[in-house]
Amino acid sequence: MIEALKEAKGMVTVAARLLHCDLKTVENYCKVYPQVAEVRRQEHESFLDVGELSLLRAVQRGEAWAVCFLLKTQGKVRGYVERAEFSGPNGGAIEVEVSGLTDDQRAERISGILDLARERAKRTRVNPNGRSAPGDSSAASG
């Protein structure tokens, strides 16, 4: 089982084919035998490393698709975003109390919140150089 998982780079369906057994058999071995599960995990990590190295080489060659993918997935903390997400305290929901308000007051309150969100979105938009706009405190430097 371990040798099949190594040869299959941790992919259980490929290992099952190599062993001429059911996918469930390989999965069960991983559940029952920690050393089998560990080999699967290590092989999977090695396989991901190969993918990351290929991506690195593509980025170094300046391939636009690779640069774009890297920045969309790994560059968010530096402001490389396609859309801004807003949340309440600790990543929770934004809560707005509107009970007891007239329809006009509710509309005014909601309009004010939307205006604030739009203003914040303007401040976090990506500049042509790829960095967040000045004043965006959510972008990390580096």
Q: Is 140 helix (H, G, I), strand (E, B) or coil?
A: coil
- CA 133 to CA 45: how far, in whole Å? 36
- Asked if 71 and 102 count as a contact pair (C-beta separation under 8 A), the reply is no
Where are the chain's structural domains? Answer: 1-62, 75-142
- CA 113 to CA 18: how far, in whole Å? 58
- CA 71 to CA 51: how far, in whole Å? 16
- CA 10 to CA 14: how far, in whole Å? 8
Distances (CA, A) of 31 to 26, 90, 97: 9, 35, 48
| Confidence (pTM) | 0.52
- CA 79 to CA 134: how far, in whole Å? 11
pLDDT, residue 31, reads 96
- Asked if 53 and 47 count as a contact pair (C-beta separation under 8 A), the reply is no
DSSP 55-75: HHHHHHTT-HHHHHHHHHHH-
pLDDT, residue 133, reads 44
In tens digits, what is the pLDDT along the chain, a chain of 142 residues? 999 999 999 999 999 999 999 999 999 999 999 999 999 999 999 999 999 999 999 999 999 999 999 998 888 778 787 766 677 788 788 777 778 889 998 888 888 888 888 887 776 655 444 454 444 444 444 3
